Amino acid sequence: MKKIKIKNLALSALLTAVIAVTAWVSVPTPLGVNLAFTLFGVSIAGFLLGVKGALAATVTYIALGAAGLPIFSFFSGGAGVLLGPSGGFIWGFLAVAILCGLAKNIEKSALKYLLMTFYAVVNMVQLILKI
C-alpha cells in the first residue's frame, strides 16, 4: 500500500476549506442570478493538487455537505441538496476536478496554458449566461 504524504493530505484539507468558503461567496448580477465561486475553488484544487488531490478535496467537500454541514452555496447542506435542482451542478465538480487535475500534469507549457485559458473563458461564458 502506498503511503499518503502528510503534505498532500494537509493541502487537500486546506483546499476543501477553500472550496467551502468560495461556495459562500456570491455576487448578484443584473439578470437576477447570483454567481457562486465554488467552481473557482474546485479549479484551483485541480490545478494545484492534480487529479488525486483535487478529487480528495472535492469528494470531502461533497461528503461534508451531504452529512448536513452548511457548506454548499447559500449556507445549505444535507443530502436533499445533492438530490435537488443544484445537485447536478455539485456532482459536476468531480468532472471539473479531474479535468483541471489532468491539465496540471500536461508537460508542454503552451498546451497547458491554452487549456487553462480555454477553461477560464468557458467558465466566464457559463457564469454570464448561466447555462
- CA dist 74 and 55 (Å) reads 23
Residue 21 predicted with pLDDT over 60: yes
- Compute the average pLDDT of residues 110-128: 70
Interhelix angle for 109-129 vs 38-66, to 10°? 70
What's the angle, vertex CA 104, arms to CA 116 and CA 113, rounded to 5?
A: 30
- Amino acid present at 95: A
pLDDT of 36 reads 76
Task: Work out the percent of the chain whose per-residue pLDDT is above 70.
Answer: 82
pLDDT class of 71 with cuts at 50, 70, 90 = very high
Distance (Å, rounded) from C-alpha 63 to C-alpha 98?
17
Give 90-115 pLDDT, tens digit per residue: 888 898 898 888 877 776 666 666 77
**Higher model confidence: residue 74 or residue 56?**
56
CB 86 within 8 A of CB 73: yes
Question: Residue 71 corresponds to which amino acid?
Answer: I
Residue 88 clears pLDDT 60, i.e. is over it: yes
Q: Which residue has the higher pLDDT, 85 or 93?
A: 93
Helix (H, G, I), strand (E, B) or coil at 46: helix
Question: CA neighbours within 13 Å on the CB side: how many for 21?
Answer: 8
Average pLDDT over the chain, rounded to an integer: 83
Secondary structure tally for the chain: helices H, strands E: 5, 2
Is the full-model pTM beyond 0.85? no
